[in-house]
Amino acid sequence: MGYYNRNYPPNPHRNSKKKRGWLVPAMLGVIIGILLVVVALPALSNSNFLPDQWAGQADNNNNSNDEANIQTYDEGNNVNTSVNVDVSTQITEVVEEVTPAVVGVINIQRQGDFWQQQEESSQAGTGSGVIYKVEDGTAFVVTNQHVVQGADTVEVVLSDDTRIEAEILGGDLFSDLAVLRMDGSEVQGVAEIGSSENIKVGEPAIAIGNPLGMMFSSSVTQGVISGTQRTIPQDFNQDGRADWQAEVIQTDAAINPGNSGGALINISGQLIGINSMKVNQAAVEGIGFAIPIDAAMPTIQELEATGEVTRPYLGVEIYSLDEVPQSEWNNTLNLPEDVEGGVYVWSVEPLSPADEAGMEQLDVITQLDGEPVMNMIDLRKILYQEKEIGDEVVVTYYRDGEQAEATIELGSQ
């Protein structure tokens, strides 16, 4: 006989004893299961009675957020060993230690009001700097020359927002470095100077600075060393011609406007570079540059001691030969066909070393002490990096198609 559900309400007393009969054992089973998981499983894990994957899971459930327990297997002794690894990374500790040595640098310039016959000071730009030394209560800060260029007053902003007026001891255009001096009583940290000589591509790099001004002060970005000994052309007078090639470290740690002059540090918290520039193109991402600390320190020390960097000079205004139309090489300069490059003299400064050696306009310099000079940058690198003031240098040049030599004693610039 079939049964049809006519939607009658169920009998509340039907099978009540049967329900009570299985409910209590089920609850006991759940409680016992929970106790096994919480108490027994970790105990078995410590006794090495469980499979590795179970034991690892049990250990993970009992570790704190600060440590991770890693199971390793020693094939020689056939035993399992546990190694505790601190999850709080070394980077956080390094950043905490270095950040007090990284400061903001505010360029303040005075502007005259013609109608009111008075001057007003305004903030012309911001950047970053690094405290590299404190001596006899005085702190010394290195930053980029372009950060403080044109400043009438400079303010240094410490990591705790304390503002201190600083004096510009000196700056250098070619290295893009400047040194500031200020009261060191409020300084809470000094950067440890590292070395950029042995850095390797792929090792961690950390940039600390003030991107976009003081709003984002002490910002930290992390990346790697993307390249070493990169050369970047620099056009100081914005005439479309490279005046110098800076040798820099390349990194993908984000370097934005305001980071200039800040610290590039290694994983040990040592200063390995002074952040300087980035490739600012829509199609480019993560290409920033820093001045290697090994190249920067001699300039920093000279700026601190004398306020300027003196370099040897010839006393000529020169331009690269590749800026001259090829037709003029033969028609105007009368150069032989085997000449592939050089610099031509546009003017000679009166009473300069070149003038005293008899050099003239339109002479084409091709060698210095036997080293080939293909362009203006080659000549400056030989003079600035290999020669000293007072050295004698043999200049090989062409005049009206004839090769000649002149020995010039280098002056100072």
Residues 6+ apart with CB under 8 A from 66: 86, 87, 88
Burial class (CB in 10 A: 0-12, 13-18, 19+), 163: middle
Handedness of CA 8, 9, 13, 18 (dihedral sign): positive
Of 270, 311, 290, 313, residue with least CA distance to 177: 290
> Which of 163, 44, 38 is CA-nearest to residue 105?
163
* Contacting residues for 113 by C-beta, under 8 A, at least 6 apart: 119, 120
- Residue 372 token pair: 């080939």
Catalytic residues: 146, 176, 260
Contact 298, 174 (CB under 8 A): no
The distance between the two most distant Cα atoms of the chain, rounded to a whole number of Å, is: 131
The residues, any chain, with a CB within 8 Å of residue 311's CB and separated by 6 or more, are 174, 383, 384, 389, 412, 413
Q: How would you classify the pairing of strands 270-278 and 192-193?
A: parallel
CA separation, residue 170 to residues 13, 76, 232, 306 (Å) = 98, 64, 23, 8
Distance CA 118, CA 309 (A): 35
